[in-house]
């Protein structure tokens, strides 16, 4: 252990000289053994094993044992570093020695890079005396919400984002600032980028479902013509909803559209009017003043109006389940990630850390991204906020593209910028400020899907004509 007066720049440079290969080795091990959200058990055990071999005590982040937490140093202030550790579903198509051995998972968002860098920073800083405390949070379930029930209780229970799970497990208690990074294709290795304010967007998932009696395409007006109604709604909904939302930094896009005989019956035919239709997609925005509650209110208001306009005009609807005489509509919305907002002081500290680590000319200013990241929940719980920054990893593919790979030179850059940022944060005078953590009940109600169901008698449809059957002409 070296004392507080150690030249941190020299120490990190020497540590990297000695451990560059270890960083690559760790990243490749993680790339070979990815695990999808909610099942990061081997990943968590691997992280704990490496920390233990360097004499760093760690604990599981939660009862499910798929995340890790550890601390270095003592006293105040308390600064956190967060790394997300989960992979994405699907096989790894790359022809590389570190191709995923798990046919069900691959690290196409670079969380293998994030995890290796998090471990690297912990190992490097564990060798020196720190003027405060650093908490490392190796967080599961960034990609998808998962159950957070204990491992032995299986997979039932409510689904929550990993960021919220970390907050509920107490990982952010007393934390003053939190930092993290994310791989950035297109930005060459050796560079980082960030901006103060909104860094990553808000997102919500919507669903519009239509239920009808179905029928024959020979007589579309004697039933509810579901395909026609679904197409009209699909076409008009994004435009109409976006007109009601203030600001320009907004996208509403459908990701799925399908029709079938019934929700649990995938059958469909060219000569049958389907009985079930679904549109689902995302609402994303970067507007600082548009809350989740606003989005919810506008979605249901506009969704309901559009359905009224499209399906039938404004005859009062009956609150009755859909059946052969009824058309049903179900609108639902589930809040996804809240915005990631970089606080001015945390942003400044990353710039300071990056200037020391790689030179101020390699710390660029980014524009906010529409992508979602659950680290926003951690930023909210740090008394002076947090900052995430982009770590240049080169290449031209998009994150989540199966063939994407990452420039491993970025590993050392991430460790250097991270370590210097944390060290600068420990030396900052931060006034104490109280933050009230959410209760489990609040977290769960936020994550729950909100639903509105509407029903109307099919006889009220504007273009409905009772089926008359065959008309017989009198013989002349």
Give the residues lining the site for Zn ion (CB under 5 A): 109
Residue nearer to Zn ion on the CB measure, 145 or 222: 145
Question: How far apart are CB 14 and Zn ion at their closest, in Å?
Answer: 31
Question: How far apart are CB 399 and Zn ion at their closest, in Å?
Answer: 6
Tell me the torsion sign for CA atoms 51, 57, 61, 65.
positive
Dihedral of the CA atoms 441, 285, 195, 190 (nearest 10)?
A: 100
Question: How far apart are CB 314 and Zn ion at their closest, in Å?
Answer: 45
Residue nearer to Zn ion on the CB measure, 180 or 352: 180
Question: How far apart are CB 332 and Zn ion at their closest, in Å?
Answer: 26
Tokens of 132: 């405060």
Distance, CA of 65 to CA of 140 (rounded, Å): 10
Residues 6+ apart with CB under 8 A from 383: 175, 176, 177, 430, 432, 433, 434, 435
Residue nearer to Zn ion on the CB measure, 347 or 369: 369
Question: How far apart are CB 6 and Zn ion at their closest, in Å?
Answer: 34
Q: Which residue is nearest to Zn ion (CB)?
A: 109
Tokens of 26: 């760790």
Distance, CA of 72 to CA of 261 (rounded, Å): 59
Residues 6+ apart with CB under 8 A from 157: 147, 148, 149
Residues 6+ apart with CB under 8 A from 361: none
Question: How far apart are CB 163 and Zn ion at their closest, in Å?
Answer: 12
Question: How far apart are CB 110 and Zn ion at their closest, in Å?
Answer: 6
Residue nearer to Zn ion on the CB measure, 288 or 371: 371
Residue nearer to Zn ion on the CB measure, 144 or 348: 144
Residue nearer to Zn ion on the CB measure, 33 or 107: 107
359 Rama sector, left if φ>0, alpha if ψ -120 to 50, beta otherwise: left
Residue 429 DSSP symbol? -
Question: How far apart are CB 182 and Zn ion at their closest, in Å?
Answer: 6
Residue nearer to Zn ion on the CB measure, 44 or 229: 44
Question: How far apart are CB 269 and Zn ion at their closest, in Å?
Answer: 41
Q: Give me the residue label for tokens 């990074």.
A: 181
Rg over alpha carbons for the chain, rounded to the nearest Å, is: 26
In terms of Cβ atoms closer than 10 Å to its own Cβ (0-12, 13-18, 19+), residue 182 is buried
Detail the DSSP E strand segments found in 336-411. 340-342, 363-365, 386-392
Residue nearer to Zn ion on the CB measure, 102 or 144: 144
Of 130, 185, 221, 18, nearest to 427 by C-alpha is 130
Distance, CA of 367 to CA of 84 (rounded, Å): 22
Residue nearer to Zn ion on the CB measure, 109 or 168: 109
């Amino acid at each position: 252990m070296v004392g507080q007066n150690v030249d941190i720049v020299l120490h990190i440079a020497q540590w990297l000289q000695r451990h560059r290969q270890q960083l690559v080795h760790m990243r490749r091990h993680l790339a070979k053994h990815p695990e999808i959200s909610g099942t990061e058990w081997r990943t968590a055990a691997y992280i704990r094993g490496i920390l233990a071999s360097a004499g760093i005590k760690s604990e599981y982040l939660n009862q499910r044992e798929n995340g890790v937490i550890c601390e270095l140093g003592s006293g105040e202030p308390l600064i956190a570093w967060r790394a997300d550790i989960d992979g994405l579903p699907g096989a790894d198509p790359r022809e590389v020695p570190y191709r995923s051995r798990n046919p069900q998972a691959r690290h196409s968002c670079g969380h293998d890079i994030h995890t290796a860098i998090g471990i690297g920073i912990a190992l490097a800083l564990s060798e020196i005396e720190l003027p405060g405390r650093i908490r490392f949070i190796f967080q599961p379930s960034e990609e998808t919400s998962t159950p957070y029930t204990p491992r032995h209780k299986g997979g039932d229970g409510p689904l929550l984002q990993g960021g919220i799970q970390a907050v509920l497990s107490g990982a952010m208690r007393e934390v003053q600032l939190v930092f993290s990074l994310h791989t950035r294709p297109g930005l060459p290795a050796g560079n980082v980028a960030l901006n103060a304010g909104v860094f990553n967007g808000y997102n919500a998932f919507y669903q519009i479902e239509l239920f009808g009696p179905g029928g024959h395409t020979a007589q579309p007006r004697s039933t509810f013509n579901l395909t026609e109604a679904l197409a009209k709604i699909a076409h008009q909904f994004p435009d109409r909803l976006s007109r009601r939302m203030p600001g320009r930094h907004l996208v509403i896009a459908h990701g799925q559209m399908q029709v079938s005989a019934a929700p649990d019956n995938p059958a469909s035919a060219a000569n049958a009017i389907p009985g079930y239709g679904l549109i689902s997609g995302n609402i994303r925005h970067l507007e600082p003043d548009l809350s989740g509650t606003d989005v919810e209110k506008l979605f249901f208001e506009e969704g309901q109006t559009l359905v009224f306009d499209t399906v039938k005009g404004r005859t009062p609807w009956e609150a009755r389940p859909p059946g052969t005489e009824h058309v049903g509509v179900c609108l639902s919305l589930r809040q996804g990630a809240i915005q990631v907002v970089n606080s001015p002081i945390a942003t400044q500290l990353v710039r300071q850390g990056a200037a020391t680590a790689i030179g101020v000319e390699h710390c660029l200013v980014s524009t906010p991204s529409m992508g979602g990241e659950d680290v926003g929940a951690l930023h909210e719980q740090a008394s002076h906020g947090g900052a995430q920054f982009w770590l240049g990893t080169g290449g031209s593919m998009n994150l989540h593209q199966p063939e994407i790979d990452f420039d491993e030179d970025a590993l050392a850059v991430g460790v250097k910028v991270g370590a210097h940022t944390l060290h600068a944060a420990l030396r900052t005078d931060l006034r104490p400020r109280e933050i009230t953590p959410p209760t489990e009940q609040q977290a769960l109600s936020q994550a729950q899907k909100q639903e509105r169901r509407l029903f109307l008698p099919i006889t009220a449809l504007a273009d409905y004509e009772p089926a008359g059957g065959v008309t017989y002409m009198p013989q002349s």
